């Protein structure tokens, strides 16, 4: 597993930012997949996403300060992927931090997981840039 962390300042209050961080918005902000379906189950939101010939489910849950989500099941580009997005107060707005752990589960994980983390960092940077632009 490789970990990546990305942070951005946004000029909005934490409650305003938290309302913007819906599961569907996070998928759209990341830009790699399209939302195909979203449904509630046992307090979680299951979002079916697809693109590039792949379709899989992300399981989202609200946390006290943002969102946590992971690839659910065996289908999907990762062997394992978990992301936590936290919103904290900052002078004049909020700091949003996205932390993600990824693994492809392939041979030579030192190389393959590094590539997965590099791609994941790009998705998270794109997501937080889009969120900041919406603010």
- Give me the pLDDT at residue 92, please: 96
Domain boundaries, the chain: 2-134
Asked if 26 and 85 count as a contact pair (C-beta separation under 8 A), the reply is yes
Tens-binned pLDDT, residue by residue, of the chain (135 aa): 999 999 999 999 999 999 999 999 999 999 999 999 999 999 899 999 999 889 999 999 999 999 999 999 888 888 999 999 999 999 999 999 999 999 998 888 889 899 999 999 999 999 999 999 998
- Give me the pLDDT at residue 102, please: 95
Q: Which fold has domain 2-134?
A: Alpha-D-Glucose-1,6-Bisphosphate; Chain A, domain 4 (3.30.530)
- Six-digit token pair at 95? 């700091």
Tell me the pTM: 0.92
Q: 10 Å Cβ neighbour count for 64?
A: 7
Can you list the positions of beta strands (E) in the chain?
2-10, 34-41, 44-51, 54-63, 66-72, 80-90, 93-103
Closest of 43, 42, 26 to residue 34, by C-alpha? 26
């Amino acid at each position: 597993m490789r970990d990546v962390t990305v942070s951005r300042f946004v000029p909005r209050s934490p409650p305003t930012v938290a309302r913007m961080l819906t599961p569907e918005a996070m998928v759209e902000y990341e830009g790699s997949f399209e939302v195909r379906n979203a449904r509630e189950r046992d307090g979680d939101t299951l979002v079916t996403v697809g693109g590039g010939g792949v379709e899989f489910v992300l399981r989202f849950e609200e946390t006290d300060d943002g969102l946590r989500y992971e690839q659910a099941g065996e289908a999907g580009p990762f062997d394992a992927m978990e992301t936590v997005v936290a919103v904290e107060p900052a002078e004049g707005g909020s700091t949003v931090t996205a932390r993600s752990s990824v693994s492809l589960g392939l041979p030579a994980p030192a190389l393959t997981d590094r590539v997965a983390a590099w791609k994941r960092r790009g998705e998270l940077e794109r997501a937080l840039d889009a969120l900041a632009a919406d603010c």
